[in-house]
Structure 1
Amino acid sequence: MQKASFPNKLSRRRALGLIAVTAGGSALVPVQLFAQQASPTSDTALLMPEAGVCSITPETTEGPYYFDPELERSEITEGREGVKLTVRLQIVDEACNPIEGARVDLWHCDATGHYSGYPGQGDGRDVDTTGQKFLRGWQRADKTGIVSFETIYPGWYRGRTTHIHFKAFPREGSEMTGQMFFPDDVSEHIFSTRTPYNQRGGQRDTMNANDGILRRAGSGTQSAVREAASAYEALMIIAVKRAG
């Protein structure tokens, strides 16, 4: 993959096209501009919101596969095979101010549609991953409100479109649960051309348009994924209530 080149300042249309959208699929901050800042010695690109009003990210179901692995880490693959993916999330409050120290938990299925830590998975309900902790972890947000996870592109399983789960804890005793979604064309390309995605049996039966959880959360607009130097990158801004 060729490294993408991005300007230091983004137009409103360009910025909203690059950031991942909320769980409901609508752009998180429809009236706001975003400036992209990158360290001159790093390929890491950060999304820094300017002052404004951020719509609270809608919550979605936690699902049956959450548990706290008690692992504070950024690299969560544990050797699971798949296309490399960097997930970068920025936690902000209603005024778009970054929330330093917010905890973010992330978890998702592997390339074959299996989560760690649970029995009775797979098309035959015969896959047991009890005791395993792959593709799970948590981090604290830095001073810009950003956490970054190194993982793999999630696969699919029956009844759900491609997604990643997260929990954000802006402060002690407060949490929100959400999901981020991926463009079907990107998913289909990866699933049909890359190993081990293209080696699994069965037929994918759910796309973004007919995923019940995504539909209930809001519109069917997809999140954005881009190609970086050596991996795909997914960005999302999560707006939560800082207090109350």
Structure 2
Amino acid sequence: MTDTSDARKIGRRTVLAAAGGAAAALTVGAAAPPKDPGGTRNAAAVCTLTTEMTQGPYYLDGALVRADLTEGKPGIPLKLALTVVDAACAPLPGALVELWHADALGEYSGFVGANGHQEPDDRTFLRGGVLTGSGGVARFTTIYPGWYRGRCVHIHVKVHTGVTVTPDGHFTGGSTVHTGQLFFDETVTAAVAKVSPYSTNTVPRTTLAQDSVYDDRGARSGLLTLTALGGSASSGYTGTLTLGVAD
């Protein structure tokens, strides 16, 4: 079960990515970089650019708009705060951040069985989207992803603008302005892998360094900043990242 079969890059747009809060300056096309309050460019806070990443084969249209993606799936708690900024590094409110990822045993809803673990596949676990607030932040409750053959632990992400939320809680329409992936520190993943139910996943685990998609550029490539919620891996983590999007 690998999404490297879709090796084609998605479009030619670029995104900005920096861990933590929104970065302060960027030049995109003819746009002039913002200045700091003193009127001089803050060179240390320039947004970094990265290309988009493969969507992979496990995307499903029409995800629910919801902050809690778990649907009762067991796993280590993961709280995500993803900040979306525009080409001028200003927070982008009203954008829909969509996530989808594998469960602890490496299975995606809609494709259960591809990693060898059978169960009824009429659920939408670990899929959903959240509209950013006035500060450009989308917050999610989910679980730490598991792994499947050929890929390191990751979460898929899309950012959409101009969407409509339907009466039944799905989203439709709009434009996709970013397709990428979120990645995890290998030391943290190694600790998570020792905890049940992750420890029952018998598929050989591809490390971050071995992955064919992650290009080892840290936050520029979607590497989350992780903070432990307690004294052990089972307590869970928070993950933060700033995603800047540009057409």
Asked if residue 165 in structure 1 is aligned to residue 156 in structure 2, the reply is yes
- The SS at the match of 2:187 is helix
- Partner of residue 212, structure 2: 212
Once the 2 structures are TM-superposed, how far is the Cα of residue 69 of structure 1 from its aligned partner?
4.4
Letter of the structure 2 residue corresponding to residue 226 of structure 1: T
Once the 2 structures are TM-superposed, how far is the Cα of residue 129 of structure 1 from its aligned partner?
5.3
Structure 1 CA distance, aligned partners of 2:218 and 2:92?
A: 28
Structure 2 CA distance, aligned partners of 1:95 and 1:73?
A: 28
Structure 1: tracts of 5 or more residues without a match? 1-26, 35-46
Partners of 1:209 and 1:220 within 8 A in 2 = no
- Partner of residue 52, structure 1: 25
Structure 1 CA distance, aligned partners of 2:23 and 2:55?
A: 30
- Partner of residue 201, structure 2: 200
Structure 2 CA distance, aligned partners of 1:119 and 1:112?
A: 10
Give me the CA root mean square deviation: 2.3
1:72 to 49, 60, 65: 65
Letter of the structure 2 residue corresponding to residue 141 of structure 1: T
Report the TM-score, using the length of structure 2 for normalisation.
0.71
2:145 to 139, 154, 178: 154
Residue pairs, 1:1-244, within 5 angstroms = 28-29=17-18, 47-49=20-22, 51-53=24-26, 54-122=47-115, 124=116, 127=118, 130-171=121-162, 172-192=174-194, 194-204=195-205, 206-215=206-215, 219=217, 222-228=223-229, 231-241=236-246, 244=247
Once the 2 structures are TM-superposed, how far is the Cα of residue 128 of structure 1 from its aligned partner?
6.0
Partners of 2:75 and 2:197 within 8 A in 1 = yes
Q: Deviations over 1:95-144 (max 9, x none)?
A: 2101100011111000000000125511x4x6465322000111110000
Q: Deviations over 1:11-66 (max 9, x none)?
A: xxxxxxxxxxxxxxxx935xxxx9xxxxxxxxxxxx54363223344210011111
Structure 1 CA distance, aligned partners of 2:201 and 2:23?
A: 44
Number of aligned positions between the proteins? 194
Partners of 1:49 and 1:96 within 8 A in 2 = yes
Partners of 1:109 and 1:154 within 8 A in 2 = yes
Partners of 2:78 and 2:237 within 8 A in 1 = yes
1:28–1:80 Cα change, 3 Å: same
Structure 2 CA distance, aligned partners of 1:183 and 1:139?
A: 24
Q: Deviations over 1:143-163 (max 9, x none)?
A: 000001100000111100010
- The SS at the match of 2:158 is strand
- The SS at the match of 1:198 is helix
Once the 2 structures are TM-superposed, how far is the Cα of residue 94 of structure 1 from its aligned partner?
1.9
Report the TM-score, using the length of structure 1 for normalisation.
0.72
Partners of 2:156 and 2:180 within 8 A in 1 = yes
Once the 2 structures are TM-superposed, how far is the Cα of residue 210 of structure 1 from its aligned partner?
1.3
Letter of the structure 2 residue corresponding to residue 148 of structure 1: R
